[in-house]
Amino acid sequence: MKDIITLGIESSCDETSVAVVKNGREVLSNVINTQIAIHTQFGGVVPEIASRKHIENISDVTEAALKQAGITFDNVDVIACTYGPGLVGALLVGVSYAKALSYAIDRPLVGTNHIEGHIAANYITNTKLEPPFLCLVISGGHTHLVHIKDYKNYEVLGKTRDDAIGEAFDKVARVIGLGYPGGPKVDSLAKEGVPNIQLPKTRFENLDFSFSGIKTAVINLHHKTPDINKADLCASFEKTITEELLENTLEASKKIGVKKIALAGGVSANSYIRSSFENLKTKGFEIYYPELKLCTDNAAMIASAGYYNFINGNISDLTLNAVPNLKLG
């Protein structure tokens, strides 16, 4: 069978990324232009600035991705772009660019769900991984427990009722003065602490999550006890939040009878969460994660998800629009 080369385009938040991926699994290039340094001074992503930066960068990032892959537009078979969920102005840049490109070079366009992209990052790192499996998507904007029945058939078993897990990490980091983006900073400070502080954990009758309670508890503790040990606080926050993730994931695994579990999304880069899930291997679980650079936003994951959409006949037309609150499944 002929190789299929997918050009992936990601612009849902503060990373402008373009990638070239062969047959959905082999990354030929994955160029990421991150705006983190720009948004850091505001303590979080400023949507209007993000959109403008995407416009400034997208052509150069595309050129660099083609060059690194050693190809030209002539070799591209499919164009996949993120069309949601995300910031509407930011999404529109990638979607408009992808539509124009699809028209100009006469190649099929595949609108791709950003969360599907995070899940597909696992197909790149774990080349033998095939559905069915259970995927815990933990990112800055999403917390979903998903049954991946096959490449196109997903069932969301549980999701957050309030904050996304990454939001909780970022907020806690900001309040205790670690800066933005907070996840990686909490991750490294937690390694110097002991999880000796009692924090609230939420359990629902179904598989949903909630992180606003623990976030508020950490913020209140910090305000009431300004000299609290920040490393212990970070370690306790990570431990409690990981227990909530593990409990729901194990219950979901039992419910659907699947012992193959993948993590995905920016927060799956967290070393404590990774090692806690890694421990499940001794209990007969198969555990997968994307390599670190594929956990956070990138276009290779979009190209991979787009490829599976394409071979399943899920092709868009030029009426494709950004859908900021696009759902999964």
- Residue 139 contacts ligand KG4 per CB under 6 A: yes
Candidates 57, 210, 270, 304; binder of ligand KG4 (CB under 6 A) is 270
Q: Which does 143 bind (CB under 5 to 8 A by kind): ligand KG4, Zn ion, none?
A: none
Least distance from ligand KG4 to the Cβ atom of residue 185, Å: 8
| Binding string, residues 133-172; x marks residues near Zn ion by CB under 5 A | ------x---------------------------------
Of 54, 136, 132, 124, whose CA–CA distance to 95 is shortest?
Answer: 54
Q: How far apart are CA 203 and CA 108, in angstroms?
A: 44
Candidates 24, 84, 158, 265; binder of ligand KG4 (CB under 6 A) is 265
| Binding string, residues 140-179; x marks residues near ligand KG4 by CB under 6 A | xx------------------------x--xx---------
Report the amino acid identity of residue 255.
K
Which residue, 143 or 309, is less far from ligand KG4 as judged by CB?
143
Gyration radius of the chain over CA positions: 20
- Residue 116 contacts ligand KG4 per CB under 6 A: no
Q: How far apart are CA 133 and CA 54, in angstroms?
A: 34
- Residue 269 contacts ligand KG4 per CB under 6 A: yes
- Residue 290 contacts ligand KG4 per CB under 6 A: no
Least distance from ligand KG4 to the Cβ atom of residue 231, Å: 15
Candidates 8, 266, 290, 306; binder of ligand KG4 (CB under 6 A) is 266
Which residue, 90 or 217, is less far from Zn ion as judged by CB?
90
Q: Which does 270 bind (CB under 5 to 8 A by kind): Zn ion, ligand KG4, none?
A: ligand KG4
- Residue 187 contacts ligand KG4 per CB under 6 A: yes
- Residue 14 contacts Zn ion per CB under 5 A: no
Three-class SS of the chain: CCCCEEEEEECCCCEEEEEEEECCCEEEEEEEEECHHHHHCCCCCCHHHHHHHHHHHHHHHHHHHHHHHCCCHHHCCEEEEEEECCCHHHHHHHHHHHHHHHHHHCCCEEEEEHHHHHHHHHHHHCCCCCCCEEEEEECCCCEEEEEEEECCEEEEEEEECCCCHHHHHHHHHHHCCCCCCHHHHHHHHHCCCCCCCCCCCCCCCCCCECCHHHHHHHHHHHHHCCCCCHHHHHHHHHHHHHHHHHHHHHHHHHHHCCCEEEEECHHHHCHHHHHHHHHHHHHCCEEECCCHHHHCCCHHHHHHHHHHHHHCCCCECCCCCCCCCCCCC
Residues 249-308 that bind Zn ion (CB under 5 A): 297
Q: Which residue stretch of 18-26, 181-189, 225-233, 279-287 sits at the interface with ligand KG4 (rule: CB under 6 A)?
A: 181-189
- Residue 10 contacts Zn ion per CB under 5 A: no
Least distance from ligand KG4 to the Cβ atom of residue 90, Å: 11
Q: Site residues (CB under 5 A) for Zn ion? A: 139, 297
Q: Site residues (CB under 6 A) for ligand KG4? A: 13, 139-141, 166, 169-170, 181-184, 187, 265-267, 269-270, 296-297
